[in-house]
Amino acid sequence: MQSNATPDPFAEPVAFGQRVQILRDRRGMSRPVLAGLLGMSPSWLKQVESGQIQVPKLPMVLRIAEALRVRDLADLTGDQSMAVDLFTGPGHAKLPAVRDAINAFPLSADRPPPTPLHLRHRLAKAWSARHTAPNHRAVLGDLLPDLVVDAQLAVRAAESAAERRATQACLSEVYSLSQFFVAYQPDAALLWRVAERGMVAAQESEDPHAIGVAAWLTAQAHRDSGPGHFDAADAVTTKALRYLEPFLPDAPDKVLAIAGALQFEAGYTAARRAESGTAWGWWDEADKTSKKLPAAYYHPITSFSRAIMGAHAVTVAVELRAGGESVRQSVQADRMTIPSRPRLARHRIEEARGYQLDNQVEVALATLERAHEAAPETIRYNGYARRIILEETEAKSPDRRRRASELAVKVGLLAA
């Protein structure tokens, strides 16, 4: 019987080019858009998809995987010997415990619920630990199971409307913290469960800051799902900014900061669309917002601050595939201090992408080494860093191959 269903790219036998086309269609990405992200022509991509051009060399395969946000390289190549996780990590050892806590459905309690004030103190310590620990996922993996359960208990035990709103704000923030742990882990359903629960709890709290944070993370989840979800990301950021606007004239710093973070998210999505003017326009808006904050202020969740705007400029330039501009922005950004270790490592990875775009591959590798020094668990689960490292293990230069191979061992891409 003939089927009209879309072929499964993971079933054998399906040629490489067919896999590219199927995965591209599933991402809602046109051929010219994918070709542009690869720096190639639409006609070249059409020849690849039709099989007129054989499987490209590894660096181009990795770039295709990056553009299509392929989770496992084997899904693109069909070669199970190339089973390499890219945009999800191999799975943290503490993921099962965090997953069990999130998935639990407690109907009874074996301990008294904490007060909102107690939860707030624990959350503050948890955010601080996340920003200061090089093994931040391991730290969160220890803290999150009890935090999730206790925040749920606190909501159920609330005795007044005000207390219930306060505990819902705490619960929403616990889910936000959980999303930082779950991101890039091999459980997309869990990520969306956390994002959606965080948004529901935030809305129940009626707290502008909690709602802004939940929207910020939800927009990221949509954008990271691929171009077919960019409109959803834009809708979330636009509605959240519209909601926050009346609060801003007299808003505390944390509400002003989440508005600035959302403005940058709008610019980030525009950059992913290759809309340069819109992307830099939103960056300008976010920069204006950052200047309304105290010079030393640093938002404990989003890292939004005056200092982070330089790092954000690097990200916009990289997503617009502007290598020279990325490098120029990197030089300027390095004058600022980023106190969060995982956020600093993420910035180093963005810098490395810029240096690679500018054909300064040695500098890109050195920058990734600095990212590893700042926060090994950030680079271990970052698809962009993993792609650059894997590419350079195939470099013609023996020194580059050696350097990349040593880094690949450190981040778990190659066995020692």
**From CA 285, how far away is CA 254, in angstroms rounded?**
17
**From CA 155, how far away is CA 153, in angstroms rounded?**
5
Instruction: Give residue 108's Cα distance to chain centre.
Output: 35
Which one, of 95, 47, 87, lies nearest residue 67 by Cα? 87
N- to C-terminal Cα separation, the chain? 50
The distance between the two most distant Cα atoms of the chain, rounded to a whole number of Å, is 69
**pTM of the full predicted structure?**
0.82
pLDDT of residue 83: 54
pLDDT tens string, the chain, 416 residues long: the values are: 444 555 554 444 678 888 888 888 887 778 887 887 787 888 999 998 988 888 888 778 888 887 787 767 777 877 655 555 555 556 889 999 999 999 987 666 677 888 889 999 999 999 999 999 989 999 999 999 999 999 999 999 899 999 999 999 999 999 999 999 998 888 889 999 999 999 999 999 999 999 999 999 999 999 988 888 899 999 999 999 999 999 999 999 999 999 999 999 999 999 999 899 999 999 999 999 999 999 999 999 999 999 999 999 999 999 998 889 999 999 887 767 888 999 999 999 999 999 999 999 999 999 999 999 999 999 988 888 988 898 888 888 899 989 999 999 998 877 65
Q: Is 85 helix (H, G, I), strand (E, B) or coil?
A: strand
pLDDT of residue 3: 47
**From CA 321, how far away is CA 222, in angstroms rounded?**
21
| CA quadruple 265, 380, 86, 185: dihedral, nearest 10 | -70
pLDDT of residue 188: 85
Neighbouring residues of 281: CB distance < 8 A, sequence distance ≥ 6 = 267, 270
